[in-house]
Amino acid sequence: MTPHRRPAEYLLLLRIFRRRPLDNSSAPPLPLPAPSLHRLCYMATGASAAAEDPGMAYKLLLSWPAGLPRSRVSVEFDPSFDRIPHPDASLEESIDEIWNQRLQQNPSLYSGTKFRYGGHASHQNDESNKEYCVSLHLGLTDYRTFVGTNLSPSWEKFLVPSEDDSVCCQHLSNPLGNGAIVETSDEKIIVLQRSNNVGESPGCYVFPGGHSEPQEVGILAHQNDVEDVAHLIERVSDEMFDGIIREVVEETGVPASSLSEPIFIGVSRRETNVRPAAFFYVRCNVDSSTVTELYSRAQDGYESTKLYAVSIEELREMSQGLPGCHQGGFALYELMRNAAGNL
């Protein structure tokens, strides 16, 4: 790559922010040399937030401030990324015990299948431009196992002492959640306040999101047929992006036609119960007042009690009310804004 060639990540960020001036937007854009591009686009080192409340601490498992489109995010879907049962039989038995207790409290609970986060890898594609791509390593898990491991009072006993995150968490369910930083046409960011009736992060501020769902692409279990597997992996990769749009539509009431194609910006993990979530940046072509009106008709509105459309400054003030994985999502968004501002 020549020093004066504008890389794909540079052009992607210009497209993302071209309708919204940043602090230094008046300065002419400068081409990035290759070393700067690498620092900008591949920042996968972990970082923790110091917080008085342990539930607000986070770690960035993968950070890509320049953002990646659908074409450069793939999935490796394989049983090797499934959870490994813990050798302590009493811990394994506690999963059913905790689930049965939760069922008695709420008989409507359903143990749906979820994608399990088993790590990631980065690589350069085979084309002449050698763009960096990310592959998410996914297995299968379910909500019962999530409740019995990650949400267990004894969740730390499932951890393995290791610097390797995938080894450390190999006995936990670790379903991959998702979240979207949605910006409206009048440059507000959508934040929801969770209901006190939900099982996870009640009352907290969160970004719209949930999970990409295996059932949406017809997955009930792993498949062995090579041809089917190849087609399945393509569908799973698409579901990472389709799933976040579906969650935004269901939780806010905003029509899918008003939302841009999501841009992947990284994976954050809450330090308490090591809950991972993938985050995306999405633009909305309607203004915040319209979004507020649409929210009253949202399909999943019962999971939250209020929608806020806030400025970046207001979001910084509210951020202490975000759970750890969403604190990390906000940090990923800030890194993206800073990367765009430095172009």
Predicted pLDDT at 50: 44
For 165, the domain range is: 43-341
Predicted pLDDT at 34: 32
Question: Residue 162: exposed, middle, or buried by beta-carbon count in 10 A (0-12, 13-18, 19+)?
Answer: exposed
Tell me the per-residue pLDDT of 259-283, one tens digit each, with 9 for 90 and over: 999 999 999 999 999 999 999 999 9
Tell me the per-residue pLDDT of 186-223, one tens digit each, with 9 for 90 and over: 999 999 998 777 667 677 899 999 999 999 998 888 87
d(CA 198, CA 43): 34
Residue 37 covered by a domain:
no
How much of the chain, in percent, has pLDDT values that exceed 90? 64
Residue 27 covered by a domain:
no
Residue 246 belongs to a domain with what CATH number?
A: 3.90.79.10
Residue 97 covered by a domain:
yes
Question: Residue 133: exposed, middle, or buried by beta-carbon count in 10 A (0-12, 13-18, 19+)?
Answer: middle
pLDDT surpasses 90 at 343: no
d(CA 119, CA 79): 13
Residue 123 covered by a domain:
yes
State how beta strands 304-310 and 275-283 pair: unpaired
Residue 303 covered by a domain:
yes
Residue 28 covered by a domain:
no
> Which of 31-35, 105-109, 134-138, 159-163 is predicted least confidently?
31-35
Average pLDDT, the chain: 84
Residue 4 covered by a domain:
no
Phi then psi dihedrals of residue 275, to 5 deg: -85, 115
The mean pLDDT of 70-75, rounded to a whole number, is 95
Residue 235 and residue 70 in contact, taking contact as beta carbons nearer than 8 Å: no
The mean pLDDT of 72-76, rounded to a whole number, is 95
pLDDT surpasses 70 at 238: yes
d(CA 124, CA 277): 24
User: Which position has the higher pLDDT, 12 or 185?
Assistant: 185
pLDDT surpasses 60 at 13: no
Query: How many structural domains are present in the chain?
Result: 1
How many CB atoms are closer than 10 A to CB 33? 14
DSSP class of residue 258 equals G
pLDDT surpasses 60 at 142: yes
User: What predicted TM-score, i.e. pTM, was given to this entire model?
Assistant: 0.85
Residue 25 covered by a domain:
no
